[in-house]
């Protein structure tokens, strides 16, 4: 069953039924001002940091009821009926409801009692505000007298405090209303230099800023007393819960259309110019007023929307493909790339599953995210890399997360996840391959943000690598620390106290438990670092990385091989995890995927065996599960992985983040059919027809699909903010389609299904447009390439040296 359809030409997903299984969301904003918006206008907005600069309020964990939003109500002055064109919060029976989620904007509209209304929500580029363009059309034969109400509920900035500290919060709220603009200024009197504003393009028929005045006593957002009565009360909030509500009266002849612009924004004043007149308590509005005036002009709003469209055309235009598979095309060309930008912007902080309060930017997460967005935003990737590296500790280890606003490592979570440092090498390597910007390696970057500790970025990579060499366990494999990629494999935790954090509790000295996954990652990162060193002319250093990687490879083959697959780890007792000897958790996806991805066992048949075992024991029709058999009870020595019931999350769920490791591993074995088959099993577009089972948005990946041990096998959760976005994009584009950035040029090595006659693609790479046409002449993966008709040796296309800005690449597969 479907709840909408893809409109690929417009790069939109059109939801035609408001009561989707879960709120189906989109993101507004792509620079500093952001919002989340659901298909029924739920969601919230914030400036830079979802926790520390929250602008509007949202009520968590009552999904599928999604409360707190950008709500518009219409009221017919004659019949006194009122409704919300976005369905929520009034939930009337609407005609022609449609929510179009597009690239950085969402339009929600419907018809009710002959009145058509549509609102386009978006954030203009380079501005800290959002626009709601409401278009109302009278489809009746008679004149219509309508009141339109637009409303938001302000959050008191710190979203954590807002949700907990009522004894204080109910006394701090303050607003000003001037020239019809509502200014939310809670705490502006003291240390905040910022405020929010909410404005309307039309002369208002009333406003409200106190929630209780707007809603009426004991009422919810579904039936505000003022909307029911048809008149706002011009309330001024003192304490309690400041909101913003505007009322506009519209008179429409039959067939007539009117547009109203509402705008909500964030503004920071210079510290010494906060008040006007100086010494007063009145917000100085001189700097913000021109911005407000500009965007209340509908033509300016339209122009801003066009700019936003062109921005996305530009980003998505960097790689476009045409294959025989619609789901591949749609995800690669539109939605997967778009999701990669969202994970770049948000890391794991703000979605419907991430409250925006709990987590900052993850060190490992953000480095991996680079794989998916670096080609679209190289300058911002550079900045992100330098920010991440600045949170690295002098030991080479890393804070697990940092807050985007302060850019400092998050002490609450700390560090000690022993895979973390290697992801910096992976991220930097992806950046170098894409951009060829070697200067980044010479950038001075501090450790732990400590002034005076600056060292070239390259030095950080060296320390990352050394970090593992200094932390080897009894078998010579890397010690796992708090956990590796699998945050829930807590082998040093041994927690038996309810509620204790698995992320920060340690009851063991950490000198025994080892990770085969980190070992595979170390081999991979070591070879990437060796290639970087070679490029810098550091041949001896490169050789030492290669030899350490080779040494680790033999340790893996000796102590990390279980006979038919790669082991997962050794626990604190030195016992095997992910072995046929185990009662549960006999085989895991991560070590098998990453070791093969790193090229381990390709020569002696172990890689092929590991992939066969993965297929046999872990693959399901909905994707590949983390491990089998699932843990049936809590194991003190394993930690959080066994706190989930079987089939969920890390306990044998289908973790869509790691499925691409298997896809890439299969391409390394030359198995295009298998790789693409795995790709399709979790491709959200390919799952659209089973939306009633899948339940999450069919246009973006979810972190997890319930595994075969779960009663809800096939049901997705945690959509949007997941490493799944980057890794799937990377797997399909760079390994299956095989169009990949390398240090020496654009490499082309497709491993596609046998049934595909080929594909065409356009890739803009280091300023040159490559028009690529791949044609299949035989069933294998051997490729013969030509550039503008001239044969190329090997499969790396050297950058044209004669100034050509567009070249045509033909590849014959046989």
Which residue's CB comes closest to ligand BGC? 487
Using CB under 6 A, count the residues that bind ligand BGC: 6
Minimum distance from residue 340 beta carbon to ligand NOJ (Å): 15
CB of 644 to ligand BGC, least distance (A): 7
Q: Is the sign of the CA dihedral 596, 597, 603, 608 positive or negative? A: positive
- Is 482 a binding residue for ligand NOJ by CB under 6 A? The answer is no
362: contact with ligand NOJ by CB under 6 A? yes
**Residue 9: CB partners within 8 Å, gap ≥ 6?**
none
What, of ligand NOJ, ligand BGC, none, does residue 349 touch, CB below 5 to 8 Å by kind? Answer: none
- Please tell me the distance from the alpha carbon of residue 547 to that of residue 518, in angstroms, as a whole number: 17
Sign, CA dihedral 508-512-515-518, equals: positive
Which does residue 364 bind out of ligand BGC, ligand NOJ, none, counting CB within 5 to 8 angstroms by kind?
A: ligand NOJ
Which helix H or strand E contains 384, and what residues bound it? helix 378-390
The DSSP element (H or E) to which 717 belongs, if any, is strand 716-719
Contact call for residue 650 and ligand BGC (CB under 6 A)? yes
Q: Closest approach of Cβ 518 to ligand BGC, in Å?
A: 16
How near is the Cβ of 434 to ligand BGC at its closest, in Å? Answer: 27
Do 266 and 47 form a contact (C-beta atoms < 8 A)?
A: yes
Does residue 688 touch ligand BGC according to CB under 6 A?
no
- Binder of ligand NOJ out of 485, 565, 631, 661 (CB under 6 A): 485
Taking CB under 6 A as the criterion, which residues in 638-657 touch ligand NOJ? 650
559 touches ligand BGC by CB under 6 A: no
Q: Dmax over Cα atoms in the chain, in whole Å?
A: 85
Report in angstroms how near the CB of residue 659 gets to ligand NOJ at its nearest: 13
What is the β-pairing status of strands 129-138 and 115-122? antiparallel
Q: Using CB under 6 A, count the residues that bind ligand NOJ.
A: 9
**Using CB under 6 A as the criterion, what x/- string covers residues 626-645 for binding ligand BGC?**
--------------x-----
Query: Which residue in the list 76, 162, 487, 571 is annotated as catalytic?
Result: 487
| Residue 485 contact, options ligand BGC, ligand NOJ, none, Cβ 5-8 Å cut-off depending on partner type | ligand NOJ
Residue showing tokens 């958790």: 585
The contact pattern for ligand BGC, residues 469-498, with x = CB under 6 A and - = no contact, is ------------------xx----------
DSSP string, 307-373: HHHHHHHHHHTTEEEE-S-HHHHHIIIIIHHHHHHHHHHHTTSBSSSSBSSS--EEHHHHHHHHHHH
Q: Under the criterion CB under 6 A, does residue 488 sit at the interface with ligand NOJ?
A: yes
Instruction: Please report how close the Cβ of residue 639 comes to ligand BGC at its closest, in angstroms.
Output: 10
C-beta closer to ligand BGC: residue 156 or 488:
488
Least Cβ distance, residue 355 to ligand BGC (angstroms): 12
Judge whether 585 and 514 are in contact, CB under 8 Å.
no
Rounded CA-CA distance 153/140 in Å is 33
CA 812 to centroid of chain Cα atoms? 36
- DSSP annotation of 598 reads T
562 near ligand BGC, rule: CB under 6 A: no
Strand 33-38 and strand 25-28: the pairing is antiparallel
Structure token pair of residue 796 = 């790396």
Among 649, 668, 676, 681, binds ligand BGC (CB under 6 A): 649
CB of 640 to ligand BGC, least distance (A): 6
Question: Rounded distance, CA 363 to CA 389, Å?
Answer: 9
CA distance 608 to 616: 12
Judged by CB, which is closer to ligand BGC: 199, or 625? 625
In the complex, the smallest distance separating the C-beta of residue 538 from ligand BGC, rounded to whole angstroms, is 35
486 binds, among ligand NOJ, ligand BGC, none (CB under 5 to 8 A by kind): ligand NOJ
H or E element at residue 663: helix 659-668
Q: By C-beta, is 76 or 640 nearer to ligand BGC? A: 640
State how far the alpha carbon of 460 is from the alpha carbons of 89, 339, 450, 465, 479, in Å. 51, 29, 14, 9, 20
Those residues with Cβ within 8 angstroms of residue 730's Cβ, 6 or more apart along the chain or in another chain = 371, 372, 660, 664
Q: Is 487 a catalytic residue?
A: yes
- The residue of the chain with the least Cβ separation from ligand NOJ equals 487
Nearer Cβ to ligand NOJ, position 435 or 592? 592
Residue 410 contact among ligand NOJ, ligand BGC, none, beta carbon within 5 to 8 Å by kind? none
Pick 365 or 666: Cβ nearer ligand NOJ: 365
Nearest-approach distance from CB 43 to ligand NOJ, in angstroms = 21
d(CA 357, CA 610): 40
Looking at beta carbons only, is 441 or 488 nearer to ligand NOJ?
A: 488
362 binds, among ligand NOJ, ligand BGC, none (CB under 5 to 8 A by kind): ligand NOJ
- Which one of ligand BGC, ligand NOJ, none is in contact with 341 (Cβ closer than 5 to 8 A by kind)? none
* 349 versus 435: smaller Cβ distance to ligand NOJ: 349
Nearest Cα to Cα of residue 653 among 628, 690, 676, 674: 628
Q: Which of 486, 628, 643, 691 binds ligand NOJ (CB under 6 A)?
A: 486
HEC string of 764-797?
EECCEEEEEEEEECCCCCCEEEEECCEEECCCEE
- Smallest CA-to-CA distance from 719 within 675, 670, 656, 666 is with 656
Q: Which stretch binds ligand NOJ (CB under 6 A): 55-63, 361-369, 453-461, 759-767?
A: 361-369
Closer by beta carbon to ligand NOJ, 173 or else 397: 397
- Per partner kind, with CB cut-offs from 5 to 8 A, the member of ligand NOJ, ligand BGC, none near residue 208 is none
Angle of helix 516-535 versus helix 457-469 axis, rounded to 10: 140
Q: Does 487 bind ligand NOJ (CB under 6 A)?
A: yes
Structure-token pair, residue 659: 């499925």
Interface with ligand NOJ in residues 707-736 (CB under 6 A): none
d(CA 345, CA 725): 13
Does position 348 bind ligand NOJ by CB under 6 A?
Answer: yes
Angle formed by the axes of helices 420-435 and 457-469, nearest 10°: 140
Q: Which is closer to ligand BGC, CB of 208 or CB of 650? A: 650
Interacting partner of 641 out of ligand NOJ, ligand BGC, none (Cβ under 5 to 8 A depending on kind)? none
Binding site for ligand BGC (CB under 6 A): 487-488, 503, 640, 649-650
Q: Catalytic site residues?
A: 487
Binding site for ligand NOJ (CB under 6 A): 348, 362, 364-365, 485-488, 650
């Amino acid at each position: 069953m479907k709840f909408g359809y893809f409109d690929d030409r417009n790069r939109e997903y059109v939801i035609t039924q408001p009561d989707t299984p879960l709120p189906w969301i989109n993101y507004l904003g792509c620079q500093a001002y952001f919002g989340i918006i659901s298909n029924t206008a739920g969601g919230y907005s914030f400036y830079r940091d979802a926790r520390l600069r929250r602008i509007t309020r949202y009520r968590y964990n009552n999904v599928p009821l999604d409360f707190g939003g950008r709500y518009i109500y219409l009221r017919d002055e004659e019949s006194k009926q009122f409704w919300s064109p976005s369905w929520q919060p009034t939930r009337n029976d609407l005609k022609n409801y449609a929510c179009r989620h597009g690239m950085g904007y969402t339009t929600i509209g419907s018809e009710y009692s002959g009145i058509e209304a549509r609102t386009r929500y978006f954030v203009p580029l380079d501005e800290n505000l959002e626009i709601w363009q409401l278009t109302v059309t009278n489809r009746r034969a008679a004149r219509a007298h309508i009141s339109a109400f637009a409303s938001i509920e302000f959050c008191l900035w710190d979203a954590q405090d807002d949700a907990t500290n009522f004894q204080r919060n109910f006394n701090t709220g303050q607003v000003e209303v001037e020239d019809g603009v509502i200014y939310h200024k809670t705490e502006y009197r003291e240390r905040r230099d910022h405020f929010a504003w909410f404005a309307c393009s039309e002369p208002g028929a009333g406003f409200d800023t106190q929630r209780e005045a707007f809603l009426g006593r004991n009422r919810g957002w579904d039936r505000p007393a003022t909307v029911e009565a048809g008149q706002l009360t011009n309330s001024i909030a003192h304490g309690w819960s400041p909101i913003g509500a505007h009322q506009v009266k519209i008179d429409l002849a039959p067939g007539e259309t009117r547009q109203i612009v509402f705008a909500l924004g964030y503004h920071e004043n210079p510290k010494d110019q906060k008040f006007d007149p100086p010494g007063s308590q009145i917000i100085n509005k001189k700097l913000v007023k021109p911005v407000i005036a500009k965007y209340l002009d509908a033509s300016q709003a339209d122009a801003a929307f066009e700019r936003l469209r062109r921005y996305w055309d530009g980003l998505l235009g960097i790689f476009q493909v045409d294959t025989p598979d619609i789901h591949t095309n749609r995800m690669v060309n539109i939605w997967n790339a778009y999701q990669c930008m969202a994970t770049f912007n948000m890391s794991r902080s703000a979605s419907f599953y991430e409250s925006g309060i709990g987590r900052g930017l993850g060190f490992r997460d953000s480095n991996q995210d680079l794989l998916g967005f670096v080609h679209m935003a190289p300058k911002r990737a550079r900045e992100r890399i330098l920010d991440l590296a600045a949170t690295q500790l002098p030991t080479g280890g890393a804070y697990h997360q940092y807050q985007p606003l302060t850019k400092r490592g998050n002490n609450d979570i700390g560090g000690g996840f022993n895979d973390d440092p290697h992801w910096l090498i992976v991220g930097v390597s992806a950046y170098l391959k894409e951009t060829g910007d070697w200067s980044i390696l010479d950038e001075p970057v501090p450790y732990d943000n400590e002034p005076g500790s600056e060292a070239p970025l390259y030095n950080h990579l060296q320390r990352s690598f050394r970090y593992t060499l200094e932390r080897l366990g009894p078998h010579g494999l890397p010690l796992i620390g708090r956990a590796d990629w699998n945050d829930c494999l807590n082998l040093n935790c041994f927690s038996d106290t309810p509620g204790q954090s698995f992320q920060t509790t340690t009851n063991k000295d950490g000198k025994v438990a080892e990770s085969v996954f980190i070992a595979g990652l170390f081999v991979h990162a070591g070879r990437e670092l060796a290639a970087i060193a070679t490029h810098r002319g550091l041949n001896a250093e490169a050789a030492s990385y290669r030899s350490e990687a080779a040494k680790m490879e033999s340790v893996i083959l000796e102590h990390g091989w279980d006979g038919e697959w790669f082991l997962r780890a050794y626990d604190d007792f030195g016992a095997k995890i992910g072995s046929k000897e185990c009662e549960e958790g006999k085989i895991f996806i991560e070590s098998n995927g990453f070791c093969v991805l790193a090229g381990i066992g390709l020569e002696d048949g172990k890689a092929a065996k590991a992939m066969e075992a993965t297929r046999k024991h872990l693959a399901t029709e909905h994707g590949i599960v983390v491990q089998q058999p699932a843990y049936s009870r809590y194991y003190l020595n394993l930690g959080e992985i066994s706190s989930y019931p079987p089939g969920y999350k890390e306990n044998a769920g289908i973790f869509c983040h790691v499925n691409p490791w298997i896809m890439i591993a299969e391409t390394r074995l030359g198995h295009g059919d298998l790789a693409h088959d795995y790709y399709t099993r979790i491709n959200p577009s390919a799952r659209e027809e089973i939306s009633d089972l899948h339940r999450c948005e069919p246009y973006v990946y979810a972190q997890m699909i319930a595994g075969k041990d779960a009663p809800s096998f096939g049901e997705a959760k945690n959509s949007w903010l997941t490493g799944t976005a980057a890794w799937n994009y990377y797997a399909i584009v760079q390994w299956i389609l095989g169009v990949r950035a390398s240090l020496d040029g654009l490499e082309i090595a497709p491993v596609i299904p046998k049934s595909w006659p080929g594909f065409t693609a356009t890739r803009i790479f280091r300023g040159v447009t490559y028009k690529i046409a791949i044609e299949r002449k035989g069933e294998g993966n051997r490729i013969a390439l030509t550039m503008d008709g001239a044969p190329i040796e090997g499969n790396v296309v050297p950058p044209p040296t004669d100034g050509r800005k567009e070249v045509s690449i033909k590849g014959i597969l046989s």
